[in-house]
Chains A and B, each alone.
Chain A
């Protein structure tokens, strides 16, 4: 079974530029998550999709971050414009059902973003 795919793996941009990350979840998984992992910290949820609808985006900085999951499969996370403090690893995860505390989330390899 293929895992969660993410691209690119690494990205370096200057502040005020824009950047986009792509994620393809495990086939058949209804729920997709984007987490931000700042160096030395645990991952923090940015947004959660159930199929193609948003169920939690309470910690997404909506003035600069946006995300979509068209057709309920793959997803794109965008940052525009980027700030220095956005330097982090952006992790995508998926789970079969979502909305259940027992559901296991499977993570992709992440995209390491460096903002100069």
Chain B
């Protein structure tokens, strides 16, 4: 079945450091890939997405490229800020049950803590 594996946290970085959070997936067909972020006390927010191979999603300085050959969708940011401290979830959406459902399959989340 479809699944997502992402690196365990917490990831602790100093401000302005480079960030990578690894995400790999297993899926049949042609899923879409997403990164969601959950700030403390808030709900899940879509950070970026990519819908086909080699697509690059980007938002707020974050980027991720859909790599079909390595089944990966790693999240990167060149210079993190304290305000980026949150839990990051990698997710995929694939069709199941004859195309009836496009539920999201999430990874377990990675806590990022950025120190000033």
Segment with Cβ contacts to B, from A11-19, A41-49, A70-78: A41-49
- The CA of A56 and the CA of B101, in the complex, are separated in Å by 6
List, in ascending order, chain A residues with CB within 8 A of B4's CB: 42
Give B residues with C-beta under 8 Å from A: 4, 30-32, 34, 36, 42-46, 49, 51, 89, 91, 93-97, 99-104, 106-109
Of A61-69, A79-87, A104-112, the one contacting chain B is: A104-112
Interface of A: prevailing SS: loop
Whether A91 and B44, one on each chain, are in contact in the complex, defined by CB atoms closer than 8 angstroms, is: yes
Chain A interface residue number, banded: 20 to 34
11 A-B residue pairs with CB within 8 Å? A42-B89, A42-B109, A43-B104, A56-B101, A95-B102, A98-B102, A100-B102, A101-B102, A103-B102, A104-B34, A108-B43
